[in-house]
Amino acid sequence: MSSKEALQGLWSSLYPQDDQSRLRSLFAHLDSLKQDKSAEESDWYKQAVVYSLYVDLYNRNFAGLSHKLDYLQGLGVSCLWLLPILDSPMRDAGFDIRDYELIRHDLLGLEPGFSKQEQEDVFGDFLAEAHKRGLKVIFDIAMNHISDEHPWFVAAKSSEDNPFRDYFIWTKDTSLYGEARLLFKGMENSNWEPMGDWYYFHRFFSFQPDLNYRNPEVLMAMTRALLYWQSLGVDGFRADAIPYLWKEEGTDCENLPKTHTIVKFFRAALDYVKPGTILLAEACQKPHKLIKYLGSGDECHAAYHFPLMPQMYKALAMQKAAPVIETLSPSVTPPIPDSAQWFTFLRCHDELSLELVYVSEEDRKFIHENYCREPQWDFRLGEGISARLANLLNFDDRRIALAYSVMLSLPGTPVIYYGDEFGKENDENYYREMISMTGKNDTRFLVRGKIDWKKRETQLSDPDSFQSKVFTKLQQLLKIRHLHPAFGHGSLEFVTLTKSNGEAAEEVLAYRRIINNDHMLIVQNLSEQVVEVNLACDKQSRTDLLTGLQHNSEKLTIHPLSYYWFSCK
CA 326 to chain centre: 22
Distance between CA atoms of 98 and 395, rounded to whole angstroms? 38
Helices (H) and strands (E) counted in the chain, each on its own, are 20, 23
Tell the burial category of 36 from Cβ atoms under 10 Å away from its Cβ (0-12, 13-18, 19+). exposed
Q: Is 282 marked active-site?
A: yes
Choose, from 282, 298, 355, 378, the residue flagged as catalytic.
Answer: 282
Contacts 24+ apart (CB under 8 A), 460-468: 460/422, 466/395, 466/397, 466/423, 467/422, 467/423, 468/422
Q: What are the backbone angles phi and psi of residue 240, rounded to the nearest 5°?
A: -75, 135
Distance between CA atoms of 469 and 423, rounded to whole angstroms? 9
Size (the chain), residues: 569
Q: What end-to-end distance do the CA atoms of the chain give, in Å?
A: 43
Distance between CA atoms of 312 and 321, rounded to whole angstroms? 9
- SS3 string, 66-108, reads HHCHHHHHHHCCCEEEECCCEECCCCCCCCCCCEEEEECHHHH
Distance between CA atoms of 78 and 69, rounded to whole angstroms? 10
Secondary-structure percent of the chain, ordered helix, strand, coil, rounded to 5: 40, 20, 45
Bridge partner list, 523: 510, 564
Task: Report yes or no: 515 and 485 within 8 Å, Cβ to Cβ.
Answer: yes
Distance between CA atoms of 212 and 219, rounded to whole angstroms? 9
Task: Report yes or no: 565 and 544 within 8 Å, Cβ to Cβ.
Answer: yes
Q: Is 554 marked active-site?
A: no
- The four Cα atoms 251, 292, 366, 376 give a dihedral, to 10 degrees, of -70
Choose, from 96, 240, 397, 507, the residue flagged as catalytic.
Answer: 240
Query: Which residue type sits at 537?
Result: C
Nearest by Cα to 418 from 124, 140, 71: 71
Task: Report yes or no: 332 and 307 within 8 Å, Cβ to Cβ.
Answer: yes
3-class SS of residue 429 = helix
Task: Report yes or no: 180 and 253 within 8 Å, Cβ to Cβ.
Answer: yes
Maximal C-alpha separation, the chain: 79
Q: What are the backbone angles phi and psi of residue 526, rounded to the nearest 5°?
A: -85, -5
- Which residues are catalytically annotated? 240, 282
